Amino acid sequence: MKHTNTNTNTNTPLHLHHIHHLPTQIWHFTESNFPTFVLPNSAFGFLGALSGPALTTSHTTPDLSTLLPRLPLIILFNWALVFIFDLANQRLPESIQEDHLNKPWRPLPTNRITADQTRRPLLATIPIGLGITYTLGIWQETCPILILTWMYNDLKGGDELIRDGIIAVAYGLYNIASLKIACTGDEGEIQPSEKGYLWTTVISGVILTTMQIQDLKDVAGDRTRGRQTIPLAFGEWWSRWSIAGLVVGWSVICMWFWGLEGWVWYVVIGGVGGLVVGRVLTVEGDAAAWRLWSVWLMVLYGLPWVGGLEWRGLV
């Protein structure tokens, strides 16, 4: 079924009277990625810094009063870069067609903005994003993130089986940058430690092997654009059972990595992971499975802090 699309108009300018709608448009572009991307990445940085010596070069555990002022900056970084990604992604003709099926509430399928009106803000947001991240001291992570955004969208890497690899690397860069922003204290310059980088790599492995859960809810739209996702390339049955097994396996590996022995943590992590497994195997409710997966990720992100508490005999 073809959709008549007025968003391909390349001659319609973005007038000044549209500016007062900008905050609402930003939210509509990033709404679906805020709870599943911005918040988990921000949690990684905040909880990682809160763990102190577990992931950073700090010799002490920072107070919440020290870290909380950094939280808005962490969220700003993740939100700004996700906004750039979403502008680049959602303006493409095949993305508009896909969103008519998978996410019809987005700005372009609902004709609230055209593809060309989306491209023009992208020209401004990239240098603004670079300026923000340079000020925050994380431009080294931002530049490859922008390259990966280009590869995923304009070079169609998001339509190939390498898409999960691109996403996993991007997550790693977002996470380590979030941790860098959160690192602060009175001891001088604090940075992620070697174990901080190792933990970031482990989490990227988790994402690489289980990120396919997001594709289950988008099968209809992905099929129309010829996208090669794991559920489409290998079948939904194989994808669902592999996700279930990997969620269980990674839960155990991550608890072992942090040396957690208390049964309560196995109940908590196993419980959230079990909800993901149960939802993904029921076939229905794939959008809920995707959101639960994001919650499971944030639970894993809290393990360095929990491990530090056990090590200090506080729990």
What does pTM read for this prediction? Answer: 0.88
Number of H-type helices and E-type strands within the chain: 16, 0
- Measured CA to CA, the distance from residue 288 to residue 293 in angstroms comes to 9
User: What percent of the chain is modeled with pLDDT above 70?
Assistant: 89
Task: Say how many CA atoms lie within 13 Å of 246 toward its Cβ.
Answer: 19
pLDDT in tens, 19-69: 556 677 778 888 888 988 999 999 999 999 999 899 999 888 888 888 999
pLDDT in tens, 123-181: 999 999 999 999 999 999 999 999 999 999 999 999 999 999 999 999 999 999 999 99
Q: In whole angstroms, how far apart are CA 51 and each of 92, 255, 294?
A: 41, 15, 20
Task: Find, among 122, 92, 104, the residue nearest to 32 by Cα.
Answer: 104
pLDDT band at 188 (very low <50, low <70, confident <90, very high): low
Residue 16 pLDDT greater than 60, yes or no = no
Task: Quote the tokens at residue 276.
Answer: 């993901």
- Measured CA to CA, the distance from residue 280 to residue 292 in angstroms comes to 10
